[in-house]
Amino acid sequence: MAWIYLLVAGLFEVVWAIGLKYTEGWTRLWPSVGTLAAMAISFWCLSQSLKSIPIGTGYAIWTGIGAVGAAALGILLFGDSASWPRLLCIGLIVCGVIGLKVVG
């Protein structure tokens, strides 16, 4: 169950990271409310997962899911660069997250 909590926490990290873009510096009410809600859910799920997953592993995987998800959505939604060096670096993050799960 801890790994499910960690996955959900990571997915909600992506939601709040992308939500920050839509808040326009916290000047838009509903995007700000949604972003704060996603933050709360993400942190709560992370805290639940860390009851049994080591902190280093859990935090690294949480931030990895968030970084890869935010980068991917940045490319899809906002036209961020999809150059091969950038995609290679994103792939390295994915490899690191998988490696932590395998050895953890």
pLDDT tens for each residue of 63-74: 999 999 999 999
Tokens matching residue 100: 């932590």
d(CA 81, CA 42): 27
Structure-block tokens of residue 90: 């994103």
Entry pTM: 0.89
Amino acid at 22: Y
Residue range 2-13: mean pLDDT, rounded: 97
What is 39-74 written as a DSSP string? Answer: HHHHHHHHHHHTTTS-HHHHHHHHHHHHHHHHHHHH
